[in-house]
Amino acid sequence: MKLRVLGCAGAEFPHFHPSAFLVDDSLLLDAGTIGAVLSEHEQWAIARIFITHAHLDHIRGIPMLADNIVIKELNKSLTIHGIRETIESLSTHLLNDVIWPDFSKIPSTHPVIRYNPIVPEVELEVGGYKIMAVEVNHTVPAVGYIVRKGNKSIIYTGDTGPTDRLWDFTDNISALIVEVSFPNEMEKLALLTRHLTPALLATELKKIKNLPPRILITHPKPQHYDKIASELDDLGVEQIELLRDGNIYEF
């Protein structure tokens, strides 16, 4: 399983792009960054997008990708997977013929976007993967994803504050992609917005019986990147690595 980090920041600045993780060139976990970093042909290869929640920094690449597909006159559809609340938010508030065209109806003979609402903790088999959503703790309905291919698996938390259920599925995973948005001094804001700090992450990791070999940290606020990096180092957990855009991993 190949993982390419298109974006892993909790905001946008030069060299810091919002969340998107490309798996084996065709499956995308979140869609905060697509066209800004992928070539035309790399964009066409995307078949499915699994969205953790409906916040803009996790979905904003979808409208432009859909538009690019239509303009190219490609006879292909893009399947958007997410829990019911996320799909409803996309169709009602973004791809609604007001903010952006409703590409679930365009072109009429072969719409670009197909929505696939999913149910938490019901495994979905698609394209050689087994994927399951698990609810996490955020300010809007949100899930993390467990992605399995053969004997390899990763967990991606999406945005979350302190949570519990997701950690029940961490046995024998190859990597955990987990958010840390704020430095420790901003814990009050982190808890209010349901995100993590390095100290809060340390508490969450204690809920995991056997830590995975790689713990990849995503979603830091760029303004606090160096502070977060230092505080993560202070945890003394050797598996932890703070992600950067463009990183590529093989599991």
Q: What are the pLDDT digits (tens) for 133-145? A: 999 999 999 999 9
What pLDDT digit, counting tens, does each position of 176-212 carry?
Answer: 999 999 999 999 999 999 999 999 999 999 999 999 9
Name the average pLDDT for the chain. 97
72 pLDDT band (50/70/90 cuts)? confident
May I ask the CATH class of domain 2-250? alpha beta
φ/ψ of 111, rounded to 5, equals -55, 145
Residue range 11-22: mean pLDDT, rounded: 97
Widest pairwise Cα distance in the chain? 56
Whether cis (ω within 30° of 0) applies to the bond prior to 107 is yes
Is residue 44 over pLDDT 90?
A: yes
Is residue 40 over pLDDT 90?
A: yes
Residue found under tokens 């409803």:
88
Is residue 88 over pLDDT 90?
A: yes
Is residue 74 over pLDDT 90?
A: no
The answer for residues whose C-beta is within 8 angstroms of residue 127's C-beta and 6 or more apart is 26, 27, 47, 48
pLDDT of residue 73: 79
Q: How many helices (H) and strands (E) does the chain have?
A: 6, 14
- Spatial separation of the C-alpha atoms in residues 194 and 166, rounded to whole Å: 15
The sign of the torsion formed by the CA atoms of 12, 14, 16, 19 equals positive
pTM: 0.97
pLDDT of residue 34: 98
Helix-, strand-, coil-residue percentages of the chain, each rounded to 5: 25, 30, 45
